A and B are shown apart, each in its own frame.
Chain A
Amino acid sequence: MIRESDNSRSDAVAFETSSVDRLIASDRAGRSGVSGIRPALEEIWQLLEEVADPEVPVVSVVDLGIVRDLAWADEQLVVKVTPTYSGCPATEFIEQAIEEALHAAGIADVRLEQQLFPAWTTDWITDAGREKLRAFGIAPPVGSASKRTLLGEEPEVACPQCGSHDTSRVSEFGSTACKALYRCNSCLEPFDYFKCI
């Protein structure tokens, strides 16, 4: 349950799982300077848009705002990621998926860094991500993650199926840490609401 320190962990994982791949690939880059080993950051962002969230597979880690930043440090790609919830059990899985996708694309030297601050909020979910959530049947977070939203009354959540605003909350917590359970009073469909945090 409890992991090694965040700072050292990602390095350790990268070394264990891919030291062979990395040596081979970085040798090649060093000798021939083949382009594609160090693609433009824009291309890498596009690549990561294909990495799906394990629990809500219609949205990518980019849509959710889990990937904070990409930067090249010489031949090493530094990926800053942020957990959604402190205890989200998918965090390590997501980090692994990101690393694998980057290795598969030929980027040999990848370092993942966890960045807690500023804390992730649902405001980080992109517009595209919100639209994908809705199309999948999960109501996207309503409004902004202010203290008022968190402490105040229930937001008006529209049904992702029929669009009705006549909905009621069944449970403040749902199938994953990030969701609450709602029901539409118009079409009677139950649905997940990606809660605002």
Chain B
Amino acid sequence: MNQNQALFEYLLRLGDSDMVLAQRLCELVGKAPALEEEMAIGNVALDLIGQARSWLEYAAELEDAGRSADDLAFTRDERAYRNLLLVEQDNGNFADTMARQFLFDLWHYHLLSALSQSSDERIVAIAAKGLKEVTYHLRRSGNWIKRLGDGTEESHAKMQEAIDEIWTYAGEMFIADEVDSLLADAGIAPDLNALQQKWQSDLTTTLEEATLACPPMDAFMQTGSKQGMHTEQLGYLLAEMQFLPRSFPGASW
């Protein structure tokens, strides 16, 4: 694998995670528990779609195979998707949605902070732009973790259950493969161990404040997204997302 192939893979991972999470969040538009939450969730999804577009446009240019960012988004099958297993998980109840969001936002925040120092200028531009948005996302999801964790007996129990439930999908974010190592050596992407330390330290602080217990890092963790091995949930999500462009190829407004 050469550096360009690795970078293409890496950009797919970044773009796919943003897009799949955005698609999940959009499922809540029209049925969020409160209007303010609906606006927030919709806005977060919009930011993520914008970021996904930037990453996938870069990926498409790099691949230079006549595929556009749209083609990458709407014509790849499940096994070609490279998003984290975490983001494809169902919305569940509001605590589940927020647990998933918080674990993602915290990773996303530290990842984009690191990518803002990348040796690749275009990555720096996209990451620095996204970082401002993600900082805002993180503040909000972190506040919800604290509010629900340190809330009533019921909200505490649900929040704890949500963290425990999603935990098995968190470890994957920090398991490096050939792509990660190659790009880390080139100064393009960050070292995942360093990323994990920052993530874990912030996570511990927030969970403590929220009076929640942090599950063990050495618990069994699901993996596979980097090889395109996804959980059952992704197929359904893509079926809905890709239905229109696949049924009516080339359709435009």
Task: Tell me, in angstroms, the Cα distance from A171 to B47 when the chains sit together.
Answer: 17
By a CB distance below 8 angstroms, the chain B residues around A89 are 46
Q: Is the CB of A121 within 8 A of B132?
A: yes
Q: Which residues from 120 to 150 on chain B have a C-beta closer than 8 Å to any C-beta of chain A?
A: 121, 124-126, 128-133, 135-136, 138-140
Q: Which residue of chain A has its CB nearest to the CB of B72?
A: A2
Q: A2-B70, A197-B132 are in contact. Are A150 and B50 (CB under 8 A)?
A: no
Q: Interface with B: A30-38, A63-71, A112-120, which one?
A: A112-120
Q: Which of B39, B130, B133, B135 contacts A151 (CB 8 A)?
A: B135
Q: Which residue of chain B has its CB nearest to the CB of A150?
A: B135
Q: Is the CB of A5 within 8 A of B126?
A: no
Q: Does B103 sit at the interface, judged by CB under 8 A?
A: no
Q: Which of B53, B74, B136, B139 contacts A3 (CB 8 A)?
A: B53
Interface string of B3-45 (1 = CB under 8 A from A): 0000000000000000000000000000000001001101110
Q: Which residue of chain A has its CB nearest to the CB of B69?
A: A2
Residue among A4, A86, A172 with max Cβ neighbours from chain B (10 Å):
A86
Task: Tell me, in angstroms, the Cα distance from A133 to B131 when the chains sit together.
Answer: 25
Q: Is the CB of A150 within 8 A of B139?
A: yes
Q: How many residues of B contact A (CB 8 A)?
A: 39
Interface string of B80-114 (1 = CB under 8 A from A): 00000000000000000000000000000000000
Q: Which of B40, B129, B136 contacts A116 (CB 8 A)?
A: B129
Q: Which residue of chain A has its CB nearest to the CB of B41?
A: A173
Q: Is the CB of B125 within 8 A of A116?
A: yes
Q: How many residues of A contact B (CB 8 A)?
A: 33
Q: Is the CB of B132 within 8 A of A177?
A: no
Task: Tell me, in angstroms, the Cα distance from A4 to B71 when the chains sit together.
Answer: 10
Q: Does B56 sit at the interface, judged by CB under 8 A?
A: yes
Residue among A7, A118, A171, A173 with max Cβ neighbours from chain B (10 Å):
A173
By a CB distance below 8 angstroms, the chain A residues around B69 are 2-5
Q: Does A129 sit at the interface, judged by CB under 8 A?
A: no
Q: Which of B36, B47, B56, B139 contacts A86 (CB 8 A)?
A: B47
By a CB distance below 8 angstroms, the chain A residues around B128 are 116-119
Q: A116-B126, A151-B139, A172-B136 are in contact. Are A87 and B39 (CB under 8 A)?
A: no
A170 to nearest B CB, angstroms?
7
Q: Which of B50, B70, B131 contacts A83 (CB 8 A)?
A: B50
Task: Tell me, in angstroms, the Cα distance from A89 to B47 when the chains sit together.
Answer: 10
Which B residues fall within an 8 A CB radius of A? 36, 39-40, 42-44, 46-54, 56-57, 60-61, 68-70, 73-74, 121, 124-126, 128-133, 135-136, 138-140
